[in-house]
Structure 1
């Protein structure tokens, strides 16, 4: 029963996958030639209901999260449309299924459109190419038919007249994607790299132009407006600001059948899926050991710490100077005598204090203090303490008591 369910599920999956192919839109493209697919509301059977920027698009390979490396997607704010463009690889009769998801921001409706890119071989591929860089345009500007025809006419009518019949675009990409820097002024164009190819050999005008700009190759890319050439007027009149430092003439040989895409000719349809995104397994992830970094992180600080400890130990224990301080030595040697002198001075102050506290007592009372021990015993006696307490309690108003007042007797005069 389980096997039957799995088989039924596989059949349903295959049927849905084939149904997507059956109802998908086909887009025929040629090798070595730039193609473009417009992604707009009519592609999803939508009509503009309000603002033209109410639609959002997302393109990828069918059942994959991203586009192959040779297909690019850009959205034009001016035209309110998306563009899928690129140069197909040399894979004849290959079919590359794409899936475009559209979102209507007005009512959040989502629709999906499948596009089958069918690669075919170009009968007469270009053998000669010229490389240009236009500073004042963005890549989506080159999808305007009038602008592209105006650029082609400069070569078909002025500089490369023999290429009138088979001149076509062999490469197109934003200068930012090719490594250029964004302009300082946001209103200026980001720049476009474009190549034109033909089977016809280069004209004398193109060869002379290459010799004229050859000294500028060493400063490529040029600042905008750095150099004017003798053919500048043709491009200025058409609204193109050229970077002549990037101008090149390229001859394609048999081994290099594409200026930007070097790949061998493949006739199998399965090879068209080489650029598919394939999730990698955990075992395929590269492994790296961090043991060396760990040992280096631990060993170096430990070694430095040991060296510093040894140096500090040597300085503190084995390297000291004999410093003589005469004042300190004298103080330490005579510390006992200094204390004895201070004690005797203290005793002298105590004697003066006692004499000031009891001035009315006879001096014979203190005449018995002939030694420090005798005076020390007196200070510890109750009499000395009572005298000191009386002095402290009296404060500054303590005076000796006056003699009693005796009223003199009246003696009548004789």
Structure 2
């Protein structure tokens, strides 16, 4: 782990190997240095599988998920992050503290096979430390954050950067996933990675190779997105996956940064004597009548006009009047009266069944005019039952 590689990072593990994961682990880390802790699945597996099962020969390699939070809080501190790619991978807690203090982290491991849980407590004490004055950030394109956090990989990256910086007094300050900087998730294709930003610091000033990267000519090549030529003798990359992207190198000289302004002093809150309080002038009065007319009166008038127009269309312009041959026929009224007359006639027939049949049932009776034509005396079998009755309002003429 990162704390075992420098003199200022100590930790005390209380009986982890004997009592398993249910132990309290204490760390002491300085401000401005990378903290990394790997949650080993094997450690929690020992809690889920006691020694009795070990002798019985039933060993499991269960999938586990880790839940980490600050004690009595739902999430982690701002400077601390957690990552676990798959349930069969180890988890990592990593981050760079920015201020001294103490944090108690609770880690819960959930066994996906048996749904058992194991608990671990991390006590992280952060002590003040002087910030490294010269820092540089590098982008490693062919890496993911889970593959950079192991201590062995960090040592490999630091060895290459020590050659580039030309000093061994180099410390990793921070590691950031490219997705946290607005990067896009790559396609699930071999050879596509998320990318990682690695920030290192040192007491020694930047090397010539790093200063060449900041030259105007080199920056023009990067802005033109052309193939950048690496400065001579500066390509220190022992492993291809650890090679840096030269156009994304940023240098930070903290000695030239302006100090932050002091915090404002808090007064007593009492106005000093001898002065008069002058309240600010009230804003000018505003007339809201035009706004009321525009928002209320005008829409109300339009609604009334539309209602009157709709009432006129529905009740003043009723359909049912047709014009034929220049005369107006009230078709609806005619049908209505016809139905009433037939109804009255049927009622009279049912009341007096001894009377002669109604005229409407006779063969030569015109139901519209009430006229009765004499029957035709002819031997022709084609005599119609009813004479060709011509509608006086029809447009067609009867056949002769």
Structures share fold, TM-score greater than 0.5:
yes
After superposition, residues 206-285 of structure 1 pair within 5 angstroms as 206-211=210-215, 213-215=218-220, 218=223, 227-230=227-230, 233-235=235-237, 237-253=239-255
Q: Secondary structure at the match of 1:95?
A: strand
* Residue 251 to residue 306, structure 1, CA distance change in 2 (3 Å): farther
Match of 2:152 among 141, 146, 154: 146
Instruction: Report the CA distance shift for 1:396/1:50 in structure 2 as closer, same or farther (over 3 A).
Output: farther
CA apart distance, 1:177: 1.1
Query: Unmatched 5+ residue regions in structure 2?
Result: 1-21, 50-57, 263-290, 313-322, 328-365, 386-400
Work out whether residues 62 and 97 of structure 1, in 8 Å CA contact, stay in contact via their aligned partners in 2.
yes
Once the two structures are superposed, the pairs formed by residues 336-347 of structure 1 within 5 Å of their partners are: none
Q: 2:127 — aligned with what?
A: 120
* Conserved? CA contact 2:83–2:91, under 8 Å: yes
Which residue in 1 is equivalent to 2:142? 136
Please, which of 364, 382, 388 is the counterpart of residue 395 of structure 1?
A: 382
1:304-323 matches, within 5 Å, as none
SS in 2 for 1:156: helix
The within-5 A match list for 1:51-90 is 52=61, 54-77=63-86, 80-90=89-99
Q: Write the deviation string for residues 174-225 of structure 1: whole angstroms up to 9, x where unpaired.
A: 0101211222345421111111100000111211122254226657xx7xxx
TM-superposed CA distance for 1:35, in Å, is 0.7
Q: CA deviation at 1:125?
A: 3.4
In structure 2, the CA distance between the partners of 1:65 and 1:307, relative to structure 1 (3 Å rule), is: same
Q: Is the 8 A contact 2:68 2:105 kept in 1?
A: yes
1:18-73 superposed Cα distances (whole Å, 9 cap, x missing partner): xxxx9621022221111111112354443787564522210000121110111000
Output the CA distance in 1 between the equivalents of 2:371 and 2:186.
104
Where does 1:283-362 land on structure 2 (aligned, <5 Å)?
335=326
1:192 matched to 2:196: yes
| C-alpha distance in structure 2 between counterparts of 1:243 and 1:310, whole Å | 73
Two-structure CA RMSD over aligned residues (Å): 4.5
CA distance in 2, matches of 1:185, 1:236: 27
SS in 2 for 1:385: coil
Aligned-partner Cα distance in 1 for 2:261–2:92 = 25
Following the alignment from structure 1 to structure 2, what is the Cα–Cα distance between the partners of residues 53 and 255?
51
Aligned counterpart, 1:170: 173
What are the ranges of 5 or more consecutive residues in structure 1 without an aligned counterpart? 1-21, 265-295, 318-330, 337-375, 399-414
Deviations 1:372-391, CA, capped at 9 Å, x for gaps: xxxx9xx9776x3322xx56
Distance in 1 (CA, whole Å) between partners of 2:28 and 2:261 is 20
Residue by residue over 1:284-339, the C-alpha shift from the partner in whole angstroms, topping out at 9 and shown as x without a partner, is xxxxxxxxxxxx9xx8799678669869999xx9xxxxxxxxxxxxx99x937xxx
The answer on whether the counterparts of 1:151 and 1:238 sit within 8 Å (CA) in structure 2 is: no
SS in 1 for 2:212: helix
